[in-house]
Amino acid sequence: MRLHLKISIGVMTALLGVLSVSPAMASPQIAKANKCFECHSIDKRIIGPTIREISDKYKDQAGAESRLADKVRKGSVGVWGTTPMQAYPDMPQKDIEAVVRWMLDR
């Protein structure tokens, strides 16, 4: 009986750990699935600015999350040079917000 109880508690603890993963933990996977890493990386310039550069520029600005989400949704050009960032109008808003929050936390 004690063994079953210990196993049950262990399984429940593991399940709670999996279920409590924050959306930010999944954000790199969301970014990868939406091809963000084709132009951006954490700390090496590819085509666009690095995620650290974006975070450093915007993290302390009021309204940065919604402005960046808007740039992802509609595309952007001119902030980091002349190469345009494509728009992602079909990306779910909750995914855009999760990726932007993750980026700003870097």
pLDDT band of residue 106 (cuts 50, 70, 90) is confident
9-19, pLDDT tens digit by residue? 444 444 444 44
pLDDT of residue 100: 97
Reduce the DSSP state of residue 60 to 3 states and report it.
coil
18-68, pLDDT tens digit by residue? 444 444 457 899 999 999 999 999 999 999 999 999 999 999 999 999 999
pTM: 0.73
* Whole-angstrom distance, CA of residue 99 vs CA of residue 93: 10
Instruction: Provide CB contacts within 8 A for 45, sequence distance 6+.
Output: none
Q: Give me the helices (H) in 34-92, please.
A: 51-58, 64-74
Neighbours of 55 (CB within 10 A): 19
Tell me how far apart the terminal alpha carbons of the chain are, to the nearest angstrom.
47
